[in-house]
């Protein structure tokens, strides 16, 4: 239950998934009244009701009860449906309210929605996330925020309930632009690691020997260590971000590059690595499992050991 009372904002929340449940939980537990959109998977919804949140059945009802609405869904297609669809936010938003998109979205779509909501005197802010569901639950996510200075100041106390690192990167749209650049780096690393591990296997170097050189050297980093926990330890949950979402984000990166007339051959190469794994049936597998797929298609067994 909430530990204090903070009535300065009425919070709405749509998207109680792996990340959203932890975010919403922290908002409520740190004192903000919260209304959320109900869902068929009852575990997160029932938990939120137990913490004092209110469940409603349409996005429009969420909007009508809120001054700030957070959206945390898969991507732009889902965000557009939440805002524009039948019973969507546009049917209930009040002038002066704010919509905060925490999804990893296509900035081209973000800016189109910004214009539509501005006509209703509603501000759209983008605040995509970095880190994992573990940090979402602990309230220590990273977020990169696209908003005016005044709007950032208004939202900062709410963001601080669930983020340990809040970076104001620019105006609306810049959060999503920066998030795609961030994911380009991380997913690009993943594609490189997967191919390097497969090539290592082809020439007789085991994952453990490979790791003994990379770990603690100049090419080591936190993402590398998380990625390797699948291949070395069989930890399926080391990085709970699906291959399908990786393809989606790199497709958005391509769209962003196209919108400014820039070629992005490395981004497309990384996208195709993930797309190959998805086409082979791995859509719901997680990013570190890309190594197993790349190994398989090259005749290298990178099946990890059974996790003990």
Confidence band for 8, pLDDT divided at 50, 70 and 90: confident
Query: By C-alpha distance, which of 155, 189, 184, 187 is closest to 172?
Result: 155
Confidence band for 1, pLDDT divided at 50, 70 and 90: very low
DSSP H helical ranges for the chain = 20-29, 42-50, 59-64, 76-84, 107-118, 133-138, 149-159, 174-202, 207-214, 222-233, 243-259, 265-277, 290-297
Q: 139-179, pLDDT tens digit by residue?
A: 999 999 999 999 999 999 999 999 999 999 999 999 999 99
Query: In sequence order, which residues have a C-beta less than 8 Å from that of residue 293 and are 6 or more positions away?
Result: 194, 276, 277, 280, 282, 285
Place of tokens 């004192």: 31
**Active-site amino acid positions:** 179
The pTM of this model reads: 0.90
The pLDDT value recorded for residue 143 is 97
Confidence band for 2, pLDDT divided at 50, 70 and 90: very low
Q: Report d(CA 56, CA 36) in Å as an integer.
A: 6
Architecture of domain 11-172 in this structure: 3-Layer(aba) Sandwich (3.40)
* Tokens describing residue 219: 């090419």
- Domain range list for the chain: 11-172, 178-297
The answer to whether domain 11-172 and domain 178-297 are alike in fold is: no
Query: By C-alpha distance, which of 76, 120, 65, 131 is closest to 101?
Result: 76
Q: What is the mean pLDDT of residues 84-91?
A: 96
Q: What is the mean pLDDT of residues 37-65?
A: 94
Q: 264-285, pLDDT tens digit by residue?
A: 999 999 999 999 999 999 999 9
Q: Which residues pair with 12 in a beta bridge?
A: 35, 69
The pLDDT value recorded for residue 3 is 43
Fold type of domain 178-297: 1.10.1040
The pLDDT value recorded for residue 40 is 81
């Amino acid at each position: 239950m909430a530990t204090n009372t903070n009535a300065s904002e009425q919070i709405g929340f749509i998207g109680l998934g792996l990340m959203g449940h932890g975010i919403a939980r922290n908002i409520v537990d740190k004192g903000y009244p919260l209304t959320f959109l109900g869902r068929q998977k009852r575990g997160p919804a029932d938990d939120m009701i137990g913490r004092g949140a209110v469940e409603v059945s349409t996005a429009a009802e969420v909007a009508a009860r809120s001054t700030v609405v957070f959206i945390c869904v898969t991507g732009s297609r889902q965000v557009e449906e939440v805002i524009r669809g039948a019973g969507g936010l546009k049917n209930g938003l009040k002038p002066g309210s704010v919509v905060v998109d925490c999804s990893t979205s296509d900035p081209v779509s973000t800016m189109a929605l910004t214009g539509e909501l501005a006509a209703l005197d509603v501000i759209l802010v983008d605040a995509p996330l970095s880190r994992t569901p573990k940090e979402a639950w602990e309230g220590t996510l990273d977020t990169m925020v696209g908003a005016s200075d005044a709007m950032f100041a208004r939202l900062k106390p709410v963001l601080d309930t669930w983020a340990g690192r809040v970076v104001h990167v620019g105006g609306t749209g810049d959060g999503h632009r920066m998030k795609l650049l961030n994911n380009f780096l991380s997913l690009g690393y993943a594609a490189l690691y997967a191919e390097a591990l497969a090539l290592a296997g082809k020439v007789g170097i085991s994952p453990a020997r490979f790791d003994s050189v990379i770990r603690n050297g100049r090419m080591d980093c936190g993402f590398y260590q998380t990625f390797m926990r699948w291949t070395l330890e069989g930890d399926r949950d080391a990085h709970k971000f699906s291959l399908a979402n990786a393809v989606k984000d790199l497709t958005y990166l391509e769209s962003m590059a196209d919108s400014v007339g820039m070629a992005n051959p490395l981004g497309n190469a990384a996208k195709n690595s993930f797309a190959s794994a998805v086409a082979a049936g791995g859509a719901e597998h997680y990013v570190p499992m890309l190594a197993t797929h790349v190994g398989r298609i090259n005749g290298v067994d990178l099946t990890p050991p059974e996790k003990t």
